[in-house]
A and B are shown apart, each in its own frame.
Chain A
Amino acid sequence: MSSHNNEHESIPQGPPSWKEMSRRQFLTYTLGGATAFMGAGAILPMIRFAVDPVLHKKGAGEFIKVAEAAKITDVPQEFTFELPQQDGWYASTATLTAWIRKDENGEIYALSPICKHLGCTVGWNNDKAYPDEYHCPCHGARYTKLGKNLAVAPKPLDQYKTKIDGDWVYLGEIVPNTEVKKEA
């Protein structure tokens, strides 16, 4: 649940500390789920949350320094970074991944590797049968380097808001893909 984006309408009073939530979370499976249902009965996640952007509200407007602009090429490269986030009432640090490249006009963009089918993590060029594409190991979704969905997934890969400042690439919240349209 921690990596999902649950939009809770009402935040319960007196948010539990990180530690309490983390313990409750692992009790979800260690004790068979009863404690988690009692604690979070009102916010049972639905399956579609798996494919929604991770960052939401609280993360909006914040940018994290992720990569040196000079290192970005036209071949997508994987970068991981840490982001403090608020998932509902639960504060934690999320480890996020972005695939960053620059297009023919030298513009840098960063895709989120979370598959738009059911949320597995895609990789670049990881299926020999389909070179130079993103491929999902779970049910075979494929995407172009712009993130355009070619098979299985209903939508293009999301992307991060991107800002270049000095020599650095900064990434912000995850938003729906705009690169695919640019090309069309």
Chain B
Amino acid sequence: MKFSDFTAESWFENRKYYDTCLLPYTGLSGMESPPEAAEALERLRDFLDLVEKPYQGRIVTYPALQYNGTDSTAYVNEICRKVKSSGFQYVIVLSADISLAGTGIVESDLVLSLPDIEASQNKAVRSCIRDEIEALWNR
């Protein structure tokens, strides 16, 4: 579910089931034209769909981190840390456009980056996501 799908009551009642936070990371540089920025968001939305739908009873999608800059890694790590201190057991950082492999996002439990998946897997993106997420929960 998205963060905006919860009311205070429904969150209070069900939070024990939602132990995983999904942080979308758009990775805009600021140089994009308006339509390019919109396309980046649409790619992010389509990639997010693959994660949100099958796991909507356990994963909460938070508002996205939009821009990518010099200190982004530290920033993303800081957000991950805070999200976990608020009670989530797992944080997943997800990007449709930027490679996250080796970027040092060490505070997240899993990074899902579409460019990385496409570069390294012969499997369908969907089944790769499933394997990664379920391995995270079973670890």
Contact = CB atoms under 8 A, between A and B. Distances in A.
A139 B3 contact: no
A118 B4 contact: no
Contacts, number: 82
A45 B134 CA distance: 27
Interface residues of A, number: 29
Interface of B: 1-7, 10, 13-14, 17, 24, 26, 38, 41-42, 44-45, 53-58, 61-64, 66, 133-134, 137
Main secondary structure of the interface of A (DSSP, over half): loop
A50 B63 contact: no
A121 interface: yes
Contacts of A37: 4
Contacts of B56: 3, 50, 118-120
B5 A115 contact: no
Interface stretch (A7-15, A23-31, A165-173): A23-31
Given A26-B44, A137-B133, 5 more contacts: A3-B53, A36-B4, A46-B10, A47-B6, A137-B58
A121 B64 contact: no
Contacts of B133: 137
A100 to B, nearest CB: 19
A101 interface: no
Nearest to A136: B57
B74 to A, nearest CB: 22
Interface in A22-72: 22-23, 25-26, 28-33, 36-37, 44-47, 50
